[in-house]
Amino acid sequence: MAAKAKPQKVGICDTTLRDGHQSLLATRFSTADILEVASAMDEVGFAAVEVWGGATFDTCMRYLNEDPWDRLRKIRKTMPKTKLQMLLRGQNLVGYRHYSDDVVDEFIKRAVGNGIDVIRIFDALNDLRNYSRAMEAAKKEGAHVQAAIAYTISPIHSIDYFAEEAAKLRDMGADSICIKDMAGLLLPFSAEKLVRTIIARTGLPVQMHSHYTSGMASMSYLKGIEAGAAIVDCAMSSMALASSQPAAVSIIAALKDTPYDTGLDLNVFAPINERLKQIRKKYKAFDNTDPRIDANVLRYQMPGGMISNFISQLKDANALDKLQEVLDEVPRVREDMGYPPLVTPTSQIVGAQALLNVLLGQRYKMATNEVKAYFRGEYGMPPGAINEQIRRQVIGDDKVITCRPADNIKSSFAKARKEIGAWTDDNEDVLLYIMFPQIARPFLEQKMIQETHIEYDMIGVEQNAKGQDVEFGPV
């Protein structure tokens, strides 16, 4: 008698502590609040938890005055059993422009050294050359390299296009493929085809990452799971849905006693969800979960965050009546630019230009610096052809680069280390400074003063004990 087929176990990756609060609460969770739930989450049995990278690195320092490296070390210590995952924007790391290769190497070395197991790497244009250095570095450091493909809809982007991209990423050394559906545009039946085709073409495990924005994500997961998806990204129910991920408990319950059973125990979720519900209340001012389902995402095929940004910017410009015009302008700008997927930083680049075109009443009368850089090829190769007439209108006779953009960026780590040398000799601090110089300077200055005071205090205490004069007291 033939052996019974072994049930395929689907894994759940929890994103609450990265994408969950990034999508719902402007990335404001403090390290203390994260640590409150981290050890209970460590007991669940998740395939991985995404806890770092994306916007968390920047906001940690910018708004919370916290050291993102320190956060990572604390999470690692609190979650010894679970694989920690981070989101990395390819050559942009966790910033908004390309960095030199030596900076990419150092950043990844430190991320893995401080506890990251899985590095999910993507590029806004799906330009393979922007993945390559980060993938090599992650491989070298022994991390699991997950290459993520930014999912979008355009005349260029077909199932075949994505599968071809996935196959090339496998050849570059990817250990798994993630379908990154940042806007919640992936429809259930497309998900099924996409997952099946990528698995057939690559033979690699496929992980699905969707946002609930359009109300589609859990249906897409189910179809993707039937087609063989190995892991799906979910969030704790009190931090799920709307622009966040589907709720883990719903997916776990839906798959129970099927060949796709996750094997996870639903009972352990209740206290964690309850705690997160309380924590979430603190961040009410940043809560942007209205509307729960954004039908405009499906109408306009752009991320919900982009539409709400337009509304607030148009309000500021006293031109809210122009919203429809802006929403209609986005696809035109996107076409001019060769159909980039709309994800950081291209969503901001396309959005800002569409807004300018409408507000100035003339297309490309003015262009942002980022749009100029984009047209010069500095972000990489767009998926489709660029409108040459518009390109010349925007950048004149400027040279267009066709090489890997980072090939034009000189090594910069040693120089930055020198620049910030008065305040730190720690390589992790230097990375903060390279990526966010304006906020890192005062942050490191303050950190140095605090550390110096601690040393002074210790000297003071010791001298007191010896009955000598206190040379330095607390300040």
Least Cβ distance, residue 182 to Co ion (angstroms): 5
Least Cβ distance, residue 244 to Co ion (angstroms): 8
C-beta separation of 239 from 277 below 8 A? no
Task: Give 235's DSSP letter.
Answer: B
Choice between 208 and 371, CB closer to Co ion: 208
Q: Does 19 bind Co ion (CB under 5 A)?
A: yes
Choice between 11 and 184, CB closer to Co ion: 184
Q: Does 181 bind Co ion (CB under 5 A)?
A: no
| Part of the chain binding Co ion (CB under 5 A), chosen from 156-164, 177-185, 249-257, 310-318 | 177-185
Residue 337 has which token pair?
Answer: 């630019």
Least Cβ distance, residue 19 to Co ion (angstroms): 4
C-beta separation of 248 from 29 below 8 A? no
By beta carbon distance, the residue nearest Co ion is 19
Per the listing, tokens 């052809």 go with 385
Instruction: Output the CA torsion sign for 254, 257, 261, 264.
Output: positive
- As a whole number of Å, the end-to-end CA separation of the chain is 80
SS3 (DSSP) at 340: coil
CB-based contacts of 94, cutoff 8 Å, min separation 6 = 53, 54, 55, 56, 57, 58, 87, 88, 107, 435
Residues in the chain: 475
Binding residues for Co ion restricted to 312-341, rule: CB under 5 A = none
Choice between 229 and 358, CB closer to Co ion: 229
| Part of the chain binding Co ion (CB under 5 A), chosen from 3-11, 179-187, 286-294, 376-384 | 179-187
Choice between 19 and 123, CB closer to Co ion: 19
Beta-strand ranges (E) seen in 29-75 are: 48-53
Least Cβ distance, residue 461 to Co ion (angstroms): 48
Choice between 207 and 357, CB closer to Co ion: 207
Least Cβ distance, residue 119 to Co ion (angstroms): 15
| Part of the chain binding Co ion (CB under 5 A), chosen from 11-19, 170-178, 195-203, 448-456 | 11-19
Least Cβ distance, residue 18 to Co ion (angstroms): 8
What is the distance between the alpha carbons of residues 257 and 325, in angstroms, rounded to a whole number?
A: 50
Choice between 215 and 460, CB closer to Co ion: 215
Choice between 55 and 390, CB closer to Co ion: 55
Least Cβ distance, residue 54 to Co ion (angstroms): 7
* Number of residues in contact with Co ion under rule CB under 5 A: 2
Binding residues for Co ion restricted to 206-225, rule: CB under 5 A = none
Bridge partners, residue 210, by sequence: 181
Least Cβ distance, residue 209 to Co ion (angstroms): 6
Choice between 85 and 100, CB closer to Co ion: 85
Choice between 212 and 443, CB closer to Co ion: 212
What is the distance between the alpha carbons of residues 310 and 315, in angstroms, rounded to a whole number?
A: 8
What is the distance between the alpha carbons of residues 184 and 294, in angstroms, rounded to a whole number?
A: 10
| Part of the chain binding Co ion (CB under 5 A), chosen from 180-188, 292-300, 333-341, 406-414 | 180-188
CB-based contacts of 153, cutoff 8 Å, min separation 6 = 185, 301
Cα–Cα–Cα angle for 42, 71, 82, rounded to 5 degrees:
20
What is the distance between the alpha carbons of residues 191 and 29, in angstroms, rounded to a whole number?
A: 31
Beta-strand ranges (E) seen in 34-117 are: 48-53, 84-88
Choice between 60 and 390, CB closer to Co ion: 60
- Residue 274: other Cβ atoms inside 10 A: 11
Least Cβ distance, residue 134 to Co ion (angstroms): 18
Binding residues for Co ion restricted to 259-288, rule: CB under 5 A = none
C-beta separation of 297 from 183 below 8 A? yes
What is the distance between the alpha carbons of residues 149 and 127, in angstroms, rounded to a whole number?
A: 10
Q: Does 165 bind Co ion (CB under 5 A)?
A: no
What is the distance between the alpha carbons of residues 70 and 68, in angstroms, rounded to a whole number?
A: 5
Choice between 14 and 19, CB closer to Co ion: 19
C-beta separation of 79 from 41 below 8 A? yes
| Part of the chain binding Co ion (CB under 5 A), chosen from 115-123, 175-183, 327-335, 459-467 | 175-183
Least Cβ distance, residue 128 to Co ion (angstroms): 21
- Contact positions vs Co ion (CB under 5 A): 19, 182
